[in-house]
């Protein structure tokens, strides 16, 4: 069974945890303040999600990373080489309270993250939907809510797509990080916050 870790318990990390819990998919959730600080959230989402340290979450087969952009480099620098495991980049190069975009030049934010996450097979995803849509019923509007993903490793994208299917969403592959990640990057991309539904 594929193991899942989530680093970051803000709005997006918590929404990912809820989406997994809704389907009874086990995961380890971690933040910088330690497992004890997650007690209320874990009680709310139910037994599928357990608290752990950042190191424990980072050791899983698929690791979601959803932290403030300004803390991302410091976080990833403390972690060992991922050794070919999958990291899902759910971050955007912007953060509260000013929501001022980070100037990355012509490079997609996920390309920056890929350089930080040593040894990881990076897949961009889970960053473009508002948290309440990510954690809500993905089939509440008569079809399947769309989740975009992109990456440079076909096998890694296949595993993330399979997880998206298990969660009840419709996964759409946007291609490489250089192309696809730019489409869903907030701010700047045309796809963030679009609530698209796929009908069979």
Contacts of 6 (CB under 8 A, 6+ apart): 13, 16, 17, 20, 27, 28, 29, 30, 57, 63, 64, 66
CB 166 within 8 A of CB 25: yes
Q: What CATH superfamily is the domain 4-198?
A: NAD(P)-binding Rossmann-like Domain (3.40.50.720)
Tokens of 113: 């993250």
- What was the pLDDT predicted at 94? 87
- The model's pLDDT over 83-132, given as tens digits with 9 standing for 90+, comes to 999 999 999 988 777 777 888 888 889 999 999 999 999 999 999 999 99
pLDDT of 199 higher than 80: yes
Domain ranges of the chain: 4-198
- The model's pLDDT over 15-53, given as tens digits with 9 standing for 90+, comes to 999 999 999 999 999 999 999 999 999 999 999 999 999
pLDDT of 66 higher than 80: yes
pLDDT of 154 higher than 90: yes
Tokens of 185: 């990057």
Question: Rounded CA gap, 26 and 49, in Å?
Answer: 6
Instruction: Give how far Cα 62 sits from Cα of 121, 190, 193, Å.
Output: 10, 27, 24
CB 1 within 8 A of CB 54: no
């Amino acid at each position: 069974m594929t193991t899942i870790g989530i680093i970051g318990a803000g709005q997006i990390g918590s929404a990912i945890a809820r989406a997994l819990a809704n389907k009874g998919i086990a995961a380890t959730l971690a933040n910088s303040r330690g497992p004890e600080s997650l007690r209320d959230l874990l009680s709310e989402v139910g037994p599928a999600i357990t608290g752990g340290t950042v190191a424990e979450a980072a050791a899983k087969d698929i690791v979601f990373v959803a932290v403030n952009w300004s803390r991302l480099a410091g976080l990833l620098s403390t972690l060992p080489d991922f050794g070919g495991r999958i990291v899902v980049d759910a971050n955007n190069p912007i953060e509260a309270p000013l929501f001022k975009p980070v100037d990355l030049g012509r490079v997609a934010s996920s390309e920056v993250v890929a350089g930080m996450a040593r040894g990881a097979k990076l897949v961009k995803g889970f960053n473009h939907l508002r948290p309440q849509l990510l954690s809500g019923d993905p089939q509440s509007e008569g079809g399947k809510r769309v989740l975009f993903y992109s990456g440079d490793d076909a096998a890694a994208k296949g595993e993330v797509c399979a997880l998206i299917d298990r969660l009840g969403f419709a996964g759409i592959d946007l291609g490489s990080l250089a192309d696809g990640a730019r489409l869903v990057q907030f701010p700047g991309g045309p796809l963030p916050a679009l609530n698209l539904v796929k009908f069979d």
